[in-house]
Amino acid sequence: MTLATDGDPIIIVPSADFVCCSYKGCGALRPLAEVNENRPCLGCGRV
């Protein structure tokens, strides 16, 4: 589901399927399966 607040899109996803990258300042949504496989983040490149 996608909502818009003040022109910025907000995408709502099930909390069990995605996690936010915890590296400082990144915050990219990452599929949980990729995190479990130790794939690098597409936002910052960290594992």
Q: What is the DSSP string of the chain?
A: -EEEETTEEEE---TTTEEE--STTT--EEEHHHHHTTPPPTTT---
1-47, pLDDT tens digit by residue? Answer: 556 667 677 777 666 688 888 888 888 888 888 889 999 998 898 88
pLDDT at 17: 81
> Rounded CA gap, 17 and 8, in Å?
22
> Rounded CA gap, 19 and 30, in Å?
5
